[in-house]
Amino acid sequence: MSGTHAALKRYVIVGNGVAGTTAAEHIRKNDQDNRIVILTEEDLPFYWRIRLIDYLGGDLDEAGLVAKKPEWYAERRIELQTGIRVTAADAERRVVFTAEGGEVPYDFLLLATGSHSFIPPLIGADKRGVFALRNIADAREIVACSLRGGEVVVIGGGLLGLEAGSSLCRRGMQVTVVEFLPRLLPRQLDQRGAEKLKEIMEGVGFSFQLGISVHAIQGGATVERVVLDNCEVLPADLVLVAAGVRPNLELARSLGLECNRGILVDSKLRTSRPGIYAAGDVAEFSGNVYGSWPAALQQGKIAGTNMAGGSQLYQGTIVANKLKVAGIDLAAVGEIDAEGRFRSEVEEGAGVYRKMVYDQGNRLIGAVLLGDTSDLAEVTRAVSEVAK
């Protein structure tokens, strides 16, 4: 029996986010016999990373955050090893190395190592009370700090910054958002949509500093204030940096994989080396690093299927972001046309801004839905059809 066991192929997945976990599930669907090992430095099984915002706001506890219980892994014979940091790998020997000095051999390897928060080189960014939100460990620390109440400065007016700010607002903190661009959600909203969102959010207690940068974060060992480029001073008991993310490429580089902004993959999610695949925030396909949950889910499914001998093709993911900020539904699909290059139809009312963007053939290629997202599925389907 041991001889048979030793001859089994080993699938090794680094990362237990949505891409890695979905890949493991689809490997098992296509291969009932061989070993599947997931290595993660997190201390939880797969959890809803997109719901860290709800955890931050006190609407969800840690148990509610966990999506896959130990039984799920046991039923599928997937070996999940938590608290394991993979530091390097050798493509010739087909082995990965852990921080604890372990070696894990593989026949097929999936890098689903995700991304990390980008912290700009700000003076004082290393002070206590300055956070980024990327995983449960970050969220635990932010919650502990927020229990004291007070003032929070959010650096970055994108999706994460506004959602996290909204959660901290619900915890009773005073929130000021600093964004160096002149409008909120620059990737999801045009100028008018951003103005409308700002008006609504100011109505529930947010303050905004737009078109300006942070000069320094000041205080003793702990943050006390944020100084802007125009010398204005914002009091701060907590600073949350939401300035975007960068793919985790260290492992890919140790394997000698071709990388640009992410790990370059083909339509089967294969990297430049045989037997090695990549999926999720770390992967770059056709010039795109999607950094979205739907893309990671889709890529994980296709990578896992193909690792187990399938032949599915990835053709990209239509970007459709949906969020709820301060109780306001917002969705952006496809081409939002912030520059006004296409024909658009706009509908505006109390708490509502809806913009449909059309190409020269009068086909729907994008939309901004603020305050009313009831037809989001229908709109996304229509945009996806055009993109095919």
pLDDT by residue, tens only, the chain of 388 residues: 344 444 689 999 999 999 999 999 999 999 999 999 999 999 999 999 989 999 999 999 999 999 999 999 999 999 999 999 999 999 999 999 999 999 999 999 999 999 999 999 999 999 999 999 999 999 999 999 999 899 999 999 988 899 999 999 989 999 999 999 999 988 788 899 999 999 989 988 899 999 999 999 999 999 999 999 999 999 999 999 999 999 999 999 999 999 999 999 999 999 999 999 999 999 999 999 999 899 999 999 999 999 999 999 999 987 777 777 767 889 889 899 988 899 999 999 888 999 999 999 999 999 999 999 999 999 999 998 887 7
The candidate with the shortest Cα–Cα distance to 253, out of 91, 110, 108, 100, is 91
Amino acid identity of 100?
E
Report whether 306 contacts 312 (CB < 8 A). Answer: yes
What is the model's pLDDT at position 14?
Answer: 98
Task: Give the span between the Cα atoms of 163 and 159, in whole angstroms.
Answer: 6
pTM of the model: 0.88
- Helix ranges, 280-366 (H): 293-307
Report whether 143 contacts 59 (CB < 8 A). Answer: no
Task: Give the span between the Cα atoms of 72 and 127, in whole angstroms.
Answer: 40
Measured at the CA of 319, the angle between CA 176 and CA 378, to 5 degrees, comes to 110
Collapse the DSSP code of 99 into the 3-class scheme (helix H, G, I; strand E, B; otherwise coil) and give the result.
coil
Task: State the angle between helix axes of 18-30 and 293-307 in degrees (0 to 180), rounded to the nearest 10.
Answer: 30
Domain 320-387 sits in CATH at 3.30.390.30
CB atoms < 10 A from the CB of 195, how many? 14
Q: Which residues contact 364 (CB under 8 A, 6 or more apart)?
A: 356, 357, 358, 379, 382, 383, 386
Homologous superfamily, domain 2-116+245-307: FAD/NAD(P)-binding domain (3.50.50.60)
DSSP, res 288: B
Report whether 185 contacts 158 (CB < 8 A). Answer: yes
DSSP, res 374: T
What is the model's pLDDT at position 7?
Answer: 67
What is the model's pLDDT at position 323?
Answer: 74
Q: How many residues does the chain have?
A: 388
Q: Where are the chain's structural domains?
A: 2-116+245-307, 130-241, 320-387
What is the model's pLDDT at position 156?
Answer: 95
What is the model's pLDDT at position 318?
Answer: 79
Domain 130-241 sits in CATH at 3.50.50.60
Tokens for 236, please give them.
């701060």
DSSP, res 326: T
How many Å is the Cα radius of gyration of the chain? 22
**What stretches of 82-213 adopt beta strand conformation (E)?**
86-90, 95-98, 103-105, 108-111, 115-117, 130-131, 151-155, 174-179, 207-210
Measured at the CA of 246, the angle between CA 240 and CA 248, to 5 degrees, comes to 120
Q: Beta strand 245-247 with 115-117: parallel, antiparallel or unpaired?
A: antiparallel
Task: Give the span between the Cα atoms of 152 and 169, in whole angstroms.
Answer: 9
Matching CATH topology for 2-116+245-307 and 130-241?
A: yes
What is the model's pLDDT at position 384?
Answer: 87
Task: Give the span between the Cα atoms of 151 and 174, in whole angstroms.
Answer: 5
